[in-house]
Amino acid sequence: MLKKLFGLDKKESKKEVEMPEADGKDVLHSPADGEVVALSEVPDPTFAEKMMGDGVAIKPSGGTIVSPVHGEIMQLFPTKHAVGIKTVNGIEILLHIGIETVNMQGEGFKAFVKEGDKVAVGEKLIEFDPALVNEKAESTITPVIITNGDAVASIDKEEGKEVTAGETVIMTITSK
């Protein structure tokens, strides 16, 4: 009776995210407020020289990272500094928050998703403390990388402009 009175008998309901149909084209929105820049501006050769894949980077002005696409969380790093998302068209995207942030061991990071979750554009994925990242890591710059470039026919990038999380388009990817 007390459970019913206080609503404790209700099961936790997972919200359903309606996924669009695969059409061979993925439009990526900015995962953060800030400025979109070329990968060459990332102070880490692994990203700047596209060793992990092609993409862009965001210089975030805040500490919230949202989903740039409709997709599924394929990987959430234990340190919560990076997340992998697979789009409905099979494109794999890595969001890597900051440079040398893995060394923070998750300090200052909070995840709102887990592996297997379906996410929509603009849905909050991770919050981080920009001041702590600036203090303990090299940079807050956040690469947005396409890790399975062999599945990509073309990438159109929007660089050098101010962006709004979940709203501004930063890349359009056409699948092979």
Residues 6+ apart with CB under 8 A from 69: 26, 27, 28, 29, 85, 87, 91, 93, 121
CA angle 160, 145, 129 (to 5 degrees): 75
In the three-class reduction of DSSP (H, G, I as helix; E, B as strand; rest coil), residue 61 is classed as coil
Residues 6+ apart with CB under 8 A from 150: 176
- d(CA 153, CA 176) in angstroms, rounded, equals 5
Q: Length of the chain, please?
A: 176
- Which residues form the catalytic set? 96
Residues 6+ apart with CB under 8 A from 151: 90, 91, 92, 175, 176
Structure tokens at 106: 């998750």
In angstroms, the first-to-last Cα distance of the chain is 57
